[in-house]
Amino acid sequence: MRDPIDTAAAMAYHPFQAHRPGALPLSAFVAAAQPSFFPALTFPEVASLSEPLEAGLHAALGRQHQPVHPRSLKSLQSDEGQDDDPKVTLDSQNLWSEFHKRGTEMVITKSGRRMFPPFKVRVDGLDETAKYILLMDIVAVDDCRYKFHNSGWTVAGKGDPEMPKRMYIHPDSPSKGEQWMSKPVAFHKLKLTNNISDKHGFTILNSMHKYQPRFHVVRANDIMKLPYSTFRTYVFPETEFIAVTAYQNEKITQLKIDNNPFAKGFRDTGNGKREKRNKQLNISSLHENRSKADQDCADSDDSCEQPSTSDPLYSPWELVSSPLMSTPTCQDENNIGSDSDDDLQDEDAAETGSSRTEHMSALSQKSEEILWKSALTMSNGNQDTTKDRTMFRMSDDMYSVEVDSSKNQMSEIKDGVLPLVSSLSLSAGHLQTLDFSSAHSQQFLKLGAPLLFNPGQLSVKPEAFSTTGMGHLFSSLPGVNNLENGGLSSQSITSPSPFMFQLSQHMLASQGISLSPFGGLLSYPYRYMAASAAIAPALPTCSATSTLASNHCFRSPRPWLRFSPYQIPNSVTSSQNHLRTTRSPGSSNSQSELSKSGSRNSSPVSDNHSHKSKAKQKSAPSRNTVKGSMNELQNIHNLVRGLDRPLPPQ
Amino acid sequence: MRDPIDTAAAMAYHPFQAHRPGALPLSAFVAAAQPSFFPALTFPEVASLSEPLEAGLHAALGRQHQPVHPRSLKSLQSDEGQDDDPKVTLDSQNLWSEFHKRGTEMVITKSGRRMFPPFKVRVDGLDETAKYILLMDIVAVDDCRYKFHNSGWTVAGKGDPEMPKRMYIHPDSPSKGEQWMSKPVAFHKLKLTNNISDKHGFTILNSMHKYQPRFHVVRANDIMKLPYSTFRTYVFPETEFIAVTAYQNEKITQLKIDNNPFAKGFRDTGNGKREKRNKQLNISSLHENRSKADQDCADSDDSCEQPSTSDPLYSPWELVSSPLMSTPTCQDENNIGSDSDDDLQDEDAAETGSSRTEHMSALSQKSEEILWKSALTMSNGNQDTTKDRTMFRMSDDMYSVEVDSSKNQMSEIKDGVLPLVSSLSLSAGHLQTLDFSSAHSQQFLKLGAPLLFNPGQLSVKPEAFSTTGMGHLFSSLPGVNNLENGGLSSQSITSPSPFMFQLSQHMLASQGISLSPFGGLLSYPYRYMAASAAIAPALPTCSATSTLASNHCFRSPRPWLRFSPYQIPNSVTSSQNHLRTTRSPGSSNSQSELSKSGSRNSSPVSDNHSHKSKAKQKSAPSRNTVKGSMNELQNIHNLVRGLDRPLPPQ
DNA sequence: CCATTTGACACCTACGTGCGAAGC
DNA sequence: TGGCTTCGCACGTAGGTGTCAAAT
């Protein structure tokens, strides 16, 4: 049914690390990144292309570098078996594409807003018996602020500093591959907000900024093992969006109204100013026509709460692949997604089955750049220029990046290699958080929510975590119990490691770890927990002086509010990484479904992919690769928080 | 605030086992049960009264007995630290009492119905840093069928066979004691149904039968360790109820309408035939006036979804302790809870503060019997007569029973000893199931739900489970993976062990265990998993010939549908048990609150208990104790399923 | 003045209630 | 017929929508 990966690209990887903003502008590294693509490789089973990863890594590391022994990391892996080959397809892809080509907007509110379309994926190729943790995050695509002008989005200046992005771990994690593959994996519990003081664990975004959701597959049977596990990251370009507090593009509004069941009240019953829009809204096919089994999507608690757009009068839209209305970089001032070119005009034309594939192909080059940029830089705006970068993407495909922190060698060339590297792959934001939010977290947050891993506090030997270990990794380890019992120690506060996870108590509980309320100044007490000294040696500095990475990151409250992404100093640590990139067919289905009233003769996107290999070759990875890697490392190692909690100034 | 246990009773315990229905009627054992009470003992910290438990145990065991080595069990304990002393108080106790004294009815529907009042408890005295699993089940009080006649409940004959009762594990399990104590623990996700083919994991009850909810505290950091852990069972007599498909007692209906927010639409707005009932409905105090913090009750996903009865015009009712309207045994034909005596007539009287305590005290003896019966026999109707039994209860207090399977000695006498024994304490039903239902389970059930532990399939040595183990107990053990991977083996089907748990995939997933769909005749494939040969040696036989316990229980599909509880043969195994009984003040608050409009001068029940020691002395345990123990063991060791799944005839 | 944000609101989807007619 | 059960229903709660006016 769904075998997304059909193209491959490989790229040499050059590890890299220390970065001193100011002295060493990020853009320098970004510009050097030049991943190369190889022709499509039919995803080998467990192909593993061995290549040294440490080249120049330690040398580049200014300090704070605690070398990671691959063997140690290996032992930390909860599941190192390579007998899986995850394939991920985006659910309701055609709906996503419809939004994307018009310039998807996502409303962010103070109280938190869901995404629509819902981010839902189908996973295949997992080891049925192995446990996986599935998570997602949303990272900034660039460092630009946008504005909607003349029915199009334009860059309106430099972006605002990004709040720490949280890793949203699917509430069902960890679960067996069997379970994940049995039904779509939905993330509708993830909510977007613009409230920087959010205490629910929602993802905090900047309005009028562009973001890219990402999906990660981690083979681990315990959330506590996340840091030592391989991350396979999947990026669906069509899920890119601009965060807004109020809809700017009326077409997006109408698309939402027509497809979101909760907005059914606004569908034209002759009241609004909107006219007969029903005809063009036949895109909801995949989103609506999900089978009974599909409705049992794997999501937190309410079994697939996201109501299905079950309006029978909507017939499936054509399955457009990679949308063209991609976003410009900060330098680009050209409008994208302007309404004039193809919206209302070709509505009926689209219905007749006219394929947009060609049109999109023409813009694929640009799309690739953007997507790679977002994938590489984790979109925190850590680069001020984008023109220097040679990005790439495979049109009508989504990108997946696999980062294996336990391998000190070049990754296997699966379907493509992305210079996205991190010792832990917990990337996507200079401040990265693992957030187990959901209804659970919201409930548990009330008694003191996030758990932060402080590498310096856990000096347990990696070997202690045996592969046959029974989970509850830290709960029974010396030094960890102290943290668990004692609430928040001043030491933990003053020198939190950049590699910290924010966990909801619920998830922690099911993992054998719990939090205790911390009677501090905050309504949301924190607790710091050591993850392992082996994982995140490098740390970003957060002082205004922008010194090189030190272990005292975030000694000041919410440092990210003081600096722009470029100003936030970063440094990455060694950690021999195993890089593996796969590509999953994202919007490669160009089938068009003419019937708009049910008689669909083409299978839904996720069920019938034409595995076209459209891989493009690019130059071998150069500095850009390094840049990407560095950003990844930085992101991963960055402390991510997101709750409005003041930290001791020192 | 809440320190429920203030009275103690101790009782000699004589293990016991094999039971052959027909040849050896259950009533014989039941009649012999004569637990004895000792005066209140202020619960010692970790007092441990050592007494041999094995007396006559093995001798009585006809066969199938696999002796359990205490040391082995001890090693299996996830948390053997005795530094806790759980105290449990029933939330909304006064509301419960209001219902109970009228004869609580709970509607059961095919699609599942919540309980109202919601079963919610506050837990205290836990080890803040230790992990606990909190669960509850609902067991039949007797083997009687009831009917509502002349505004009162009467026994209407012998009860129908009970479906296997499922252990509902709180979705947040396991969590730190810290978390459990931080907020009320609600179980509103547990639903009642009369659909014997229920596939949601709901609790299946017989209409017109009487049931008793029970609450269990287990110190364990992994659900897989449940079998080896000590169960502390708490019974709140006022939560007893009769399952109905339609309300019989109009007073109960009105009480529901007035207190359940979801039934607000039926409150007298002048439409119904019900007149001014508002005045008497001031009971909702505790249930309504919960603080903001209380609303964050620890429950599955939707943070305390149960809406609060926030009608400000209701003032707290008097805090009555143990209700009088207790249920009769099958032999008793006297009406209870008849409306004529005290309902509409004394409504206003009650409002004026007239205490019902005396009235209840008069009936306390009867109540005790009933409660003990339910606690001892787990109310599966395994005894056909109740007159023989000498039950007891401490009026206006709830009972708690602690069973420690890891101790081969008489339990510490805390506040009382109850002859409730089981090798694993997973009692309460001849068919006992651990059900992790909730929204999760419903979702995961769809791909093959229950997990059954088959002791015969796991021969791993108990020592393998080290205390420092990291959870995921079975996932990495030899012999277990086979089960996990292979779906359902015929062997597993044909000889399932009586000790099996039914787990939802979700919970299993978070515990390192998952299930795979089994392409059989059933929509809900089963998977059998060995728990440990050390735990449940004895098994109930389920054949019509009523042979003594054998390992081939439930070889026939749904055997419980063929036999009455008495016909189902049972046998218990040795397993040196540590018995400990505690008593928590349930409805011991006899304060009356006169003000019906807010001016409560008495603290809520859970905050202000007058620790009255009303322990009563009873005779030393005799055969009845054995009976109770046997039932417990049987219940625990019984295979519990509940899904309408046919088993291979052989 | 503008662009953007906020909050109350009507209108939806879910689903928890008892009712009452109909079924068995 | 008389119990008891079932089902659709109206009416709640809870919360997800975009709208619109007002605020910033």
Residue pLDDT, tens place only, B29-63: 222 222 222 222 222 222 222 222 222 323 333 22
Cβ atoms within 10 Å of A3's Cβ, excluding its own: 16
How far apart are the CA of A267 and the nearest CA of chain B, in angstroms? 29
Instruction: Answer yes or no: do A469 and B476 touch at CB < 8 A.
Output: yes
Closest nucleotide C1' to the C-alpha of B304: D14
| CA B531 / C1′ C10 distance in Å | 55
* SS3 category, A175: strand
CA of A267: how far to CAs of A223, A258, B625, in Å?
43, 6, 68
Tens-digit pLDDT profile for residues A162-192: 998 889 999 888 888 998 999 999 999 999 9
Residue B104 CA, nucleotide C19 C1', distance (Å): 19
Residue in chain B closest to A476 (alpha carbons) equals B468
Report the distance from CA of residue B348 to the C1' of nucleotide D24 in Å, as an integer. 56
Given a cut of 70, whether residue B164 has pLDDT beyond it is yes
At A237, which amino acid appears? P
pLDDT at B223: 82
Percentage of chain B modeled with pLDDT above 70: 29
Q: What is the nearest nucleotide to A115, using C1' and CA?
A: D16
| Distance between A510 CA and the closest CA of chain B, angstroms | 6
Q: Residues by CB within 7 A of strand C: list them.
A: A 109-110, 147-148, 156, 194-195, 207-208, 244-246, 248, 261-262, 264-265, 269, 302-303, 305, 307-308; B 107, 111-114, 116, 246-247, 253, 256-257, 260, 262-263, 265-266, 272, 274, 306
- Residue corresponding to tokens 């109740």: B386
> Out of B178, B442, B444, whose CB is closest to A514?
B178
> Which residue minimizes Cα–C1' distance to D14?
B305
Nearest to B512 among A171, A221, A299 (CB): A221
- Confidence (pTM): 0.59
Is there a contact between B517 and A476 if contact means CB atoms under 8 Å apart?
A: no
Q: How many Å does it take to go from CA B246 to C1' C21?
A: 14
- Looking at beta carbons, which residues of chain B come within 8 Å of A296? 443, 446-447
Q: Which nucleotide is nearest to A305 (CA to C1')?
A: C14
A378 CA – C3 C1', rounded, Å? 29
Distance from CA of A455 to the nearest CA of B (A): 20
Q: What is the largest CA-CA distance in chain A?
A: 68
**Is the Cβ pair B509, A303 closer than 8 Å?**
no
Check whether B135 has a pLDDT greater than 90: yes
Å separating the CA of residue A522 from the C1' of nucleotide D7: 51
- At residue B297, the pLDDT reads 56
Checking if the pLDDT of B200 tops 80, the result is yes
Which chain A residues touch B184 with a CB distance below 8 Å? none
Rounded to the nearest angstrom, the minimum Cα separation between B510 and chain A is 5
- Nucleotide C13: nearest residue by CA–C1'? A262
Strand D nucleotides in reach of protein CB atoms, 7 A cut-off: 3-7, 10-21
For D11, nearest residue by CA–C1' is: B265
pLDDT of amino acid B401: 54
DSSP state of B199: -
For residues B219-230, average pLDDT: 88
Distance from CA of A312 to the nearest CA of B (A): 25
Indicate yes or no: CB of A471 within 8 angstroms of CB of B468: no
Write down the pLDDT at residue A401: 55
| B296 contacts A446? CB cut-off 8 A | yes
Query: How many Å apart are CA B508 and CA B518, to the nearest integer?
Result: 16
Which residue among A179, A447, A468 sits closest to B182, beta carbon to beta carbon? A447
In the predicted structure, residue A157 carries a pLDDT above the cut 60: yes
Say if CB B36 and CB B391 are below 8 A apart.
no
Burial call B189-201: b when 16+ CB within 10 Å, e when fewer: bbbbbbbeebbbb
A649 backbone φψ class: left, alpha, beta (φ>0; ψ -120 to 50): alpha
Q: Which amino acid residue lies closest to nucleotide C17, measuring CA to C1'?
A: B263
- Per-residue confidence band for B174, with pLDDT thresholds at 50, 70 and 90: confident
In angstroms, how far is C8 C1' from A343 CA? 33
* pLDDT level of residue B222 (50, 70, 90 thresholds): confident
Chain A environment of B472 (Cβ under 8 Å): 221-222, 469-472
- Looking at beta carbons, which residues of chain A come within 8 Å of B484? 129, 176
Contacts of B328 (CB under 8 A, 6+ apart): B144, B153, B154, B155, B334, B336
Distance from CA(B209) to C1'(D3), angstroms, rounded: 15
C-alpha distance from B219 to closest chain A C-alpha (Å): 12
B512·A131 Cβ contact <8 A: yes
Higher confidence at residue B329 or residue A393? Answer: B329
Using 50, 70 and 90 to split pLDDT, how confident is the model at A597? very low
Q: Is the pLDDT of residue B296 over 60?
A: no
Nucleotide closest to A149 measured between CA and C1': C3
A174 closest CB neighbour out of B178, B509, B515: B509
Pick the closest to residue B94 from B355, B368, B312 (CA basis).
B355
- Chain B positions in Cβ-Cβ contact with residue A506 (cut-off 8 Å): 172, 175
8 Å CB contact of B303 and A439: yes
Among residues B203, B607, B245, the alpha carbon closest in space to that of B435 is found at B203
Q: Find the range with the poorest average confidence among A127-136, B331-340, B473-482.
A: B473-482
pLDDT given for residue B400 in this prediction: 55
Q: Is the pLDDT of residue B123 over 80?
A: yes
Q: What ipTM goes with this model?
A: 0.59
Which residue spans within B385-544 are E strands per DSSP? 398-404, 432-435, 451-453, 527-529
Residues 204-223 of B with CB under 7 A from strand D: 207-208
In this complex, which residue's CA is closest to the C1' atom of nucleotide D3? Answer: B147
Q: pLDDT (tens digit, 9 = 90+) per residue, A180-237?
A: 999 999 999 999 999 999 989 999 999 999 999 999 999 998 888 898 898 999 999 9
Q: How confident is the model at residue B397 (pLDDT cuts 50, 70, 90)?
A: very low
Cβ <8 Å between B175 and A128? no
In angstroms, the separation between the Cα of residue B572 and the nearest Cα of chain A is: 31
A261 CA to C24 C1' in angstroms comes to: 39
CA dist B484 and A179 (Å) reads 12
Which own/partner contact pairs does A346-354 have at CB distance under 8 Å and 24+ positions apart?
A347/A279, A347/A280, A348/A279, A348/A280, A350/A280, A350/A317, A350/A318, A351/A279, A351/A280, A351/A282, A351/A317, A351/A594, A351/A596, A352/A594, A353/A318, A353/A592, A353/A593, A353/A594, A354/A318, A354/A592
Q: What are phi and psi of A77, to 5 degrees?
A: -60, 135
Instruction: Return d(Cα A425, Cα A409) in angstroms, integer.
Output: 15
Residue B77 near residue B230 (C-beta atoms within 8 A) = yes
- For the segment B9-37, what is each residue's pLDDT rounded down to a tens digit? 322 222 222 222 222 222 222 222 222 22
What is the distance in angstroms between the Cα of B440 and the nearest Cα belonging to chain A? Answer: 5
Q: At residue A248, does pLDDT exceed 80?
A: yes
